[in-house]
Amino acid sequence: LGIVAAAVDKGQLKNGVQKGPKETREHGLERLFKKLGAKVNDYGEVTQPKDRQPDVILNCENQRALVKTNIELTECVAKSVSENDMTLMLGGDHSVGFGSIAGHLKIFPTSFVVWVDAHADINTPRSSVSRHTHDVRSIGIEGVMETALKTIMRFSPNCQIHLSFDIDGLDPKYAASTGTPVPGGLSLEEGKYICKTLGQTGENEIILYCSLGLLKSMVVAEVNTLLGSPEDAKTTLNSALEIIKSALLLD
28-32, 77-81, 183-187, 217-221, range with the lowest pLDDT = 28-32
Using 50, 70 and 90 to split pLDDT, how confident is the model at 210? very low
Domain residue limits at 154? 2-247
Using 50, 70 and 90 to split pLDDT, how confident is the model at 194? very high
Give pTM, 2 decimals. 0.84
Q: Is the pLDDT of residue 228 over 60?
A: yes
More confidently predicted of 155 and 21? 21
Rounded to whole angstroms, what are the CA distances from 5 to 8, 65, 129, 241? 9, 16, 29, 15
Q: Is the pLDDT of residue 36 over 50?
A: yes
Contact indicator for 121, 134 with CB cutoff of 8 Å: yes
Where residue 79 sits, what CATH number does that domain have?
3.40.800.10
Q: Is the pLDDT of residue 124 over 90?
A: no
Q: What is the pLDDT of residues 88-117, one digit of tens each?
A: 999 888 888 889 999 999 999 989 899 998
Which residues, 6+ apart, have CB-to-CB distance to 60 below 8 Å? 125, 128, 131, 132, 133
Neighbouring C-beta atoms of residue 193, cutoff 10 Å? 18
Q: Bridge partners of 90? A: 5, 220
Q: What is the rounded average pLDDT for all residues in the chain?
A: 83
Distance separating alpha carbons of residues 198 and 201, to the nearest angstrom: 5
Compute the average pLDDT of residues 33-60.
75
Number of structural domains (the chain) is 1
Q: Is the pLDDT of residue 137 over 50?
A: no
